[in-house]
Amino acid sequence: MTINQLRSCIFILTILLISWQLGACNSELRIIVPNTEIVAPALKGTSAIPNISRKLIEGVYAVQQGKARFGDTVILKHDRESLSIFCQKNSTYMVLRSGMKDSSILYAGYWRNAQSPQTGLCTLEIRNKDGAGDILQTIRPQTLTIRGAVGGSEVQPNEPLILEYVRPLFERKRERTDGKFWIIAHRGGGRNSDRLPFSENSTELIKFAGKLGANGVEIDIRLTKDGIPVLYHDENLNSRLVDGEYMVGAIGNYTFAQLQVLCRLKNGERIPTLDDALRTIVDSTNLTSVWLDIKEPAAIEKIIAMQKTYIERAQLLQAAGKRDTLEIFSGLATDEIYQAFVAHPEHLQIPSICELSISQTQKANSKVFAPRWTLGSLQNEVNSLHSENRRAFVWTLDQPEFIVQFLNEGNYDGILTNYPTVVAYNYYIRR
């Protein structure tokens, strides 16, 4: 074989290896949740914990055992029947189902690192003598200790974890917003790349957002070919967001019926309509704000009609004591969307979030101004908006160090984030 022939062979081999590399680039973004059936027997025979007792358990806890995995302090917060624990170390959180039995309070579920695939199982218990007796009688106990175990994802947890109640959760004292701070989960709870239990922009993830510490969600709205507003982020159907061999090109090229049959979100859910999503939020969550990220100006008319319908529905449920207040905002992210919104005759009465400028926020009578985080804390501008009875949310803050910085130095009323668990920890831990 001549040198030239050898060169040719090596070149072809190189091309083959590049091809092999290309083939390997299609990484699977499947969900990561351990098999919670392993710890489910811990809750066998339990009944639901009364809401008032659940509130007594919420708070800041010191980690007595388990610091290596979870850090020195954790936050405990309920979302309906679930308990979420947000940890200091490695952006770790836990999602646990709860129950009570024989004067004990029991939890079983899993822990997960928000920014890596590390996960495992967890069981916790508040024994009668550790404070459960008082809590179930709706008395705040002198001391409250939670004992349990954590471990890997396929075996019964056996590493001890002991948490001791320190103080209640931080609450902002501000009349204008009833002390409320908005932790808004991006894309209904987070991105597919973070391998959450459900696909981004799905109704299932929206229902889960509260367990991640969010009290609001941002969802992306596009129109199908037959004009139905659906939740979808990208302009094109792609393997990052959907499975479906016949799904090629823009989502707007397909009718809703075609999408329902031919397309599944990454975890198998169907692409939801805006109608489905808002009904889910109003009827099945405790979320208090919805940020509709409108991707197409043509969708404005239909979105505003739905916004009005579901604001009324939420108000009726609130009046009946069945849910908290709910705000639904049209998001004005581009000049095209803004122009289409202010052309609507009722735009001054329709709640909106303006991402563009303060003058456009005022002109559209937007309740919220939402600057990109890279613009900094904008202290003066935010204070000026507060004096006009408007609020300011910052987007999209994901890095823990910046989240802490904005919470400490900024005067924002809310943070849009892909990691609501991290914002929740750093917000509720404050004094």
Partner 1 sequence: MKLLLLVILFLTPQFLTAQDTLRGDYRVILQANLGLSQSHIVRTTEVDKAEYSPLGFLRTLRLIWRPDHLLGMGVETGILRVSNLIVKQDASLPTGTTLELDAIPALLIFSMEKYGIEITSGVGMYNYRVNAALNDNEITASTQWEIGWMLGVGYAYPISRSFSIGGDFRYYAIPERQVSLTSLNAKVQWQLWY
| Residue 231 near residue 202, CB atoms below 8 Å | yes
| Nearer to partner 1 among residue 168 and residue 249 (C-beta) | 249
139 backbone φψ class: left, alpha, beta (φ>0; ψ -120 to 50) = beta
Residue 30 found at the interface with partner 1 (CB under 8 A): no
Residue 236 found at the interface with partner 1 (CB under 8 A): yes
| Nearer to partner 1 among residue 226 and residue 301 (C-beta) | 226
| Residue 16 near residue 8, CB atoms below 8 Å | no
Alpha-carbon distances, residue 42 vs 55, 152, 173 (angstroms): 22, 17, 39
Query: Least distance to partner 1 from the beta carbon of 266, Å?
Result: 10
CA dist., res. 404 & res. 146, Å (int): 27
Query: Least distance to partner 1 from the beta carbon of 393, Å?
Result: 34
Query: Least distance to partner 1 from the beta carbon of 250, Å?
Result: 7
CA dist., res. 216 & res. 226, Å (int): 29
Site for partner 1 in 87-126 (CB under 8 A): none
| 173 three-state secondary structure | coil
Q: Which of 36, 118, 258, 286 binds partner 1 (CB under 8 A)?
A: 258
Residue 55 found at the interface with partner 1 (CB under 8 A): no
Tell me the site size for partner 1, rule CB under 8 A.
47
Q: Which of 264, 308, 313, 344 binds partner 1 (CB under 8 A)?
A: 264
Residue 11 found at the interface with partner 1 (CB under 8 A): yes
Residue 17 found at the interface with partner 1 (CB under 8 A): yes
Residue 18 found at the interface with partner 1 (CB under 8 A): yes
Q: Which of 48, 52, 139, 257 binds partner 1 (CB under 8 A)?
A: 257
CA dist., res. 242 & res. 220, Å (int): 15
Q: Which two structure tokens, joined as six digits, stand for 309?
A: 């319908």
Residue 5 found at the interface with partner 1 (CB under 8 A): yes
| Residue 393 near residue 370, CB atoms below 8 Å | yes
Q: Report angle CA 87, 323, 197 to the nearest 5 degrees.
A: 40
Residue 48 found at the interface with partner 1 (CB under 8 A): no
Q: Which helix (H) or strand (E) holds 135?
A: helix 132-136
| Nearer to partner 1 among residue 241 and residue 326 (C-beta) | 241
Mark the segment that binds partner 1 (CB under 8 A) among 53-61, 79-87, 163-171, 238-246: 238-246
Residue 245 found at the interface with partner 1 (CB under 8 A): yes
| Nearer to partner 1 among residue 206 and residue 247 (C-beta) | 247
Site for partner 1 in 196-235 (CB under 8 A): 225
Residue 269 found at the interface with partner 1 (CB under 8 A): no
Query: Least distance to partner 1 from the beta carbon of 303, Å?
Result: 24
Q: Which of 48, 139, 261, 316 binds partner 1 (CB under 8 A)?
A: 261
Q: Give 366-413 as a DSSP string.
A: -SEE--BGGG---HHHHHHHHHTT-EEEEB----HHHHHHHHHH---S
Residue 411 found at the interface with partner 1 (CB under 8 A): no
| Nearer to partner 1 among residue 14 and residue 379 (C-beta) | 14
Residue 193 found at the interface with partner 1 (CB under 8 A): no
Residue 239 found at the interface with partner 1 (CB under 8 A): yes
| Nearer to partner 1 among residue 21 and residue 374 (C-beta) | 21
365 backbone φψ class: left, alpha, beta (φ>0; ψ -120 to 50) = left
246-283: b (≥16 Cβ within 10 Å) or e: ebeeebbebebebbeeebbbbbebbbbbbebbbbbbbe
Q: Report angle CA 310, 293, 221 to the nearest 5 degrees.
A: 75
User: Taking the C-alpha atoms of 319, 215, 95 and 207 in order, what is their torsion angle to the nearest 10 degrees?
Assistant: 60
Mark the segment that binds partner 1 (CB under 8 A) among 129-137, 211-219, 258-266, 405-413: 258-266
| Nearer to partner 1 among residue 263 and residue 423 (C-beta) | 263
| Residue 114 near residue 194, CB atoms below 8 Å | yes
Residues that bind partner 1 (CB under 8 A): 2-26, 225, 236, 238-239, 243-250, 253-255, 257-258, 260-264
